[in-house]
Amino acid sequence: MRARVPQDVDLEDKLVYGLSPLRFGYLVVATLGVLSLWRLDAMPAGLRLLTCFVLASGAGVLAWGRWRARPLDAWLLDLVVFARRNYRLHLSWQPRRWQSVVPLRAINALGRQRQSKGDATAALDLTQAA
C-alpha cells in the first residue's frame, strides 16, 4: 500500500488578511487595548491618541512584520532568550556587594571552636558562630 505525505505540513495556516492565528490574536488584543485606552477619560486626548497609535502600530508590526523570512515575534523571542542567557539584569542603582553563602565570621569562629575543644569530631553549632 502506498501512502502520500503532504508537502506543506510545516507551513502556517492563514486565517484572515494572510495572518496566522497567533498574529491575528496580536491584532485582536491590541485592538481591545486601543479601545480601552481611548475610552479612558482620565488622560488627555493627545496622550490617549499617542498611546493608541503606538500600541496599534506595534501590533501591526508584530502581526505583519517579517525580516529575513522570519516573523518579528520570533526575532524578539530569540533576542530575549539570548539576553537572558548571556547577561544578568541588575535593577539596583547601588553597587553590588558580593556576599558568600556562609559569612567569614562564622567560618573563623568555627575554626576557633574546633581548636579550643581539641576534638576533631565535635558537632559544630552554626547558630552561635554567626
Domain holding 31, by residue range, is 13-88
Residue 126 lies in a domain: no
Q: How many CB atoms lie within 10 A of CB 23?
A: 22
pLDDT tens for 40-80 read 988 899 999 999 999 999 999 988 888 888 889 899 999 99
Q: Which residue has the higher pLDDT, 95 or 14?
A: 14
Helices (H), the chain: 21-38, 45-64, 72-86, 104-117, 126-129
C-alpha cell read off for 37: 485606552
Number of domains forming the structure of the chain: 1
Residue 74 lies in a domain: yes
pLDDT tens for 27-46 read 999 999 999 999 998 889 99
Residue 29 lies in a domain: yes
Residue 122 lies in a domain: no
